[in-house]
Structure 1
Amino acid sequence: MNAPGPPKGGRRAASLLAVITPAIAELTLGNPPLSRIWLMLLWIPIYGAGTVLIRELVRRRRRGASSILLLGLAYGIVEEGLVLQALTSPTMYGAAGWAPRFLGLNSAYAELNLVYHAVFSVALPILLTDLAFPSLRDRPYLGRTGVVAAAVVFVLGGLLLRVTVATSVDPGYQAPLAVPAGCAAAVALLAVVALRVLPPTGSGAPIARARSGTPAAVPRLWVAGGFGAAAGFGYLALLFPFGGAVQPAFTHGGWVAAPMLGGAVVAVLAWWLTRRWTASRGWTDRHSLCLAGGALVGHTAFGVVANAATLADELELSALGLVMVGLTGLLGRRLRAPMPGR
């Protein structure tokens, strides 16, 4: 029997996901500035194919939000630990000086980037694409050939970053053998837990609707958006040194433990509240969009503060943020139709 082909519209949805993933993860944070947008060609293969591959695996196994986040962490380990090797490099980005190194790991950099990739490089792009293609939200986008192609492009994209970005930004560094071995083991463990240990769910969406019908209170749309913005901006501001600082949140010495703990609290609180809200019958796609849109606004606002080097960069990134808000608003108009039974 022949394997089923991709559903109608699946390739378009996968293409959209592949394009918006690096745009969200890098471009709307100001990495790179719009004046050097051509550098995105280096990031599209690993980001786009990686997130498409994660979504395909999760949908085929009928897993949900927790699996997406765990595989997002695994993606972060692949990019930052195996490809760029920034998790352990003593020189790359100056990350070794952000906080004490733990077992050779750049601790604050790891806390910042692994969570960042799970949320902004994987979960949010998948959510937005599922909202744009609601009839496909619980189905794979691609057939078997497409999945294999995504895996191949993902590997080639990693090699591309390795021979371009890593060698130019951090020439000469090669992690000890134990580092890639440990990273590979961590990725394998996360994949097994995400795809085999966690139970299947009725909805594979990153932020599901009306799963359990529990009576938990659902926030107003503006509250969900405001919380997303505050959590996105706050997490980045606590952990990413900016404005001339060399440690997170402008700390010195051992005080760096305070913003690191604060970042962990923000991440756990956001995870807990999101799970609680989305379990309620009152949660809708518009709530999901507001929460995600708020997180993107906070994330881009932080990029303007921390990454824009010139006034022109600030204006360009602000304009890009306004375009993003406008596109999110257009998507929101498509979600205004009343839900069945409401």
Structure 2
Amino acid sequence: MALLVLAPWAAECSWGGFTLQNVLPVVLILAPLYGGAAVVIREIARRTGGGWPAIILLAAAFGLFQAALVDQSLFNPRYLDDTEFADWAGAANATRVPVLGFSAEQAFDYIGNHVALSICAPIALVESFVGAQRRHRPWLGASGLAAVAVMYVLGSLLIFFDDSGRKSFTASPLQLLFAGSVVLTLVGAAILPRFRHRRTPATANAPRPLWIGMVVLVAHLASWLVTGWPAVAVRAAVVAVVATVIVIWSRRAGWGQRHVLAAGSAGLLVAAAQAYLVPNYAPASPTAALVGDVAVSVITLTLVGGAFWRLSRTPTPVRPT
């Protein structure tokens, strides 16, 4: 239940997208979509033994599925027209990919935010509060998993058939084929390969969790200073480097849930700080916007601080898979 509620809040509210009075309706309406996806992804990864590599790949598949096939924001040039982000959509046209008709910069934003905020941060937080003996085990039986999966499908259909969101836009067959092929590839990579289970003996100690968080923080901030295709190139390079560094560090002795939490919560902290700099989806008074942003800061710091406090009460770190 915590994951069902936390995922939609992290996805749509943690970066200041809504005023405080709109948070509860947003969370309740979007819980089947974001929360259902987060629960299903975690259950699949834990049942197959794929661990965090599988979670990240499935999160990317979900992000693309959501942006390309459900709300189709990735392909719809008018998707943000009636929001306070209309100017951002215009700037994104500088990185529009010919034929396929999507902005590479928006693809990084949409899919990257789904990976970091919609899926990874909520799972890392909730698993940190759960006892070590249950942290990496499935939480649902077959019937529970099926119920959540159905809930996710219904939530996706609700968004798809909401014409006020898609604005009567429908992606072309080529766009749907491209996106569907990439989604299936990501899902296949997440559930099929078994080489990820092979571990070599650790030859060094993992760095402190603070350094993990700082590295991920740099990845989130890397593209703030540039726009257009240079930003896309910088993001791709930074993601590749950071992913390599974290994979290497995660194989070292002493790697535990605190490191996972530091990596997962870094994006949430960046989003909470960014809330003071970005507008709400809909126009709001300065007071309402500020109250909402302060609430985001309080909730984020409480969740992250509480998770680290919870882990501090576990004397022996449990190595996550």
Same fold, TM-score > 0.5, yes or no: yes
Alignment-derived partner of residue 163 in structure 1: 161
Alignment-derived partner of residue 301 in structure 1: 273
CA 213–26 in structure 1, closer or farther in 2 if over 3 Å, else same: farther
Q: CA deviation at 1:234?
A: 4.0
Are 2:47 and 1:60 equivalent residues in the alignment?
A: yes
**Please, which of 97, 101, 104 is the counterpart of residue 104 of structure 1?**
101
Indicate if the aligned counterparts of 1:228 and 1:293 stay in contact, CA closer than 8 A.
no
SS at match of 1:41: helix
SS at match of 1:197: coil
Indicate if the aligned counterparts of 1:63 and 1:200 stay in contact, CA closer than 8 A.
yes
Indicate if the aligned counterparts of 2:128 and 2:257 stay in contact, CA closer than 8 A.
yes
Q: Deviations over 1:268-296 (max 9, x none)?
A: 23212221222111223223323333331
Query: How many pairs does the alignment contain?
Result: 301
SS at match of 2:197: coil
Q: Deviations over 1:114-150 (max 9, x none)?
A: 1221222112222222222122222111111111111
Query: TM-score by structure 1 length?
Result: 0.80
Q: CA–CA distance in 2 between the matches of 1:313 and 1:161? A: 25
Q: CA–CA distance in 1 between the matches of 2:216 and 2:196? A: 27
Which deviates further from its counterpart, 67-76 or 39-48?
A: 39-48
Report matched runs for 1:127-276 at 5 Å. 127-133=124-130, 134-164=132-162, 167-199=163-195, 201=197, 212-216=200-204, 218-235=206-223, 237=224, 249=226, 251=227, 256-276=228-248
Which deviates further from its counterpart, 268-277 or 285-294?
A: 285-294
Are 2:36 and 1:49 equivalent residues in the alignment?
A: yes
Gap runs ≥5 in structure 1:
1-14, 203-210, 239-248
Alignment-derived partner of residue 299 in structure 2: 323
Which deviates further from its counterpart, 94-103 or 26-35?
A: 94-103
Q: CA RMSD in A?
A: 2.4
Give aligned-pair identity as a percent: 28
Q: CA deviation at 1:316?
A: 2.4
CA 276–147 in structure 1, closer or farther in 2 if over 3 Å, else same: same
Alignment-derived partner of residue 260 in structure 2: 288
Indicate if the aligned counterparts of 1:304 and 1:317 stay in contact, CA closer than 8 A.
yes
Q: CA–CA distance in 2 between the matches of 1:197 and 1:96? A: 40
Alignment-derived partner of residue 208 in structure 1: none
CA 200–271 in structure 1, closer or farther in 2 if over 3 Å, else same: closer
Q: CA deviation at 1:192?
A: 1.5
Q: CA–CA distance in 2 between the matches of 1:126 and 1:17? A: 7
Indicate if the aligned counterparts of 1:96 and 1:106 stay in contact, CA closer than 8 A.
no
The letter for the 2-side match of 1:316 is G
Gap runs ≥5 in structure 2:
81-85
CA 324–70 in structure 1, closer or farther in 2 if over 3 Å, else same: same
The letter for the 2-side match of 1:303 is A
Q: CA deviation at 1:78?
A: 1.4
SS at match of 1:305: coil
Indicate if the aligned counterparts of 1:131 and 1:285 stay in contact, CA closer than 8 A.
yes
Alignment-derived partner of residue 315 in structure 2: 338
Indicate if the aligned counterparts of 1:43 and 1:157 stay in contact, CA closer than 8 A.
yes
Alignment-derived partner of residue 116 in structure 2: 119
Indicate if the aligned counterparts of 2:254 and 2:317 stay in contact, CA closer than 8 A.
no
Which deviates further from its counterpart, 79-88 or 325-334?
A: 325-334
The letter for the 1-side match of 2:311 is L
Q: CA–CA distance in 2 between the matches of 1:21 and 1:96? A: 29
Which deviates further from its counterpart, 226-235 or 180-189?
A: 226-235
Q: CA–CA distance in 1 between the matches of 2:153 and 2:203? A: 45
Indicate if the aligned counterparts of 2:121 and 2:265 stay in contact, CA closer than 8 A.
no
Which deviates further from its counterpart, 98-107 or 303-312?
A: 303-312
Q: Deviations over 1:34-87 (max 9, x none)?
A: 232223333211101111111111122111222111111110111100111111
Q: CA deviation at 1:28?
A: 0.7
Q: CA deviation at 1:191?
A: 1.3
Q: CA–CA distance in 1 between the matches of 2:234 and 2:53? A: 22
The letter for the 2-side match of 1:280 is R
SS at match of 1:304: coil
Q: Deviations over 1:225-283 (max 9, x none)?
A: 33333433445x36xxxxxxxxxx4x4xxxx1111212222322321222122211122
Query: TM-score by structure 2 length?
Result: 0.84
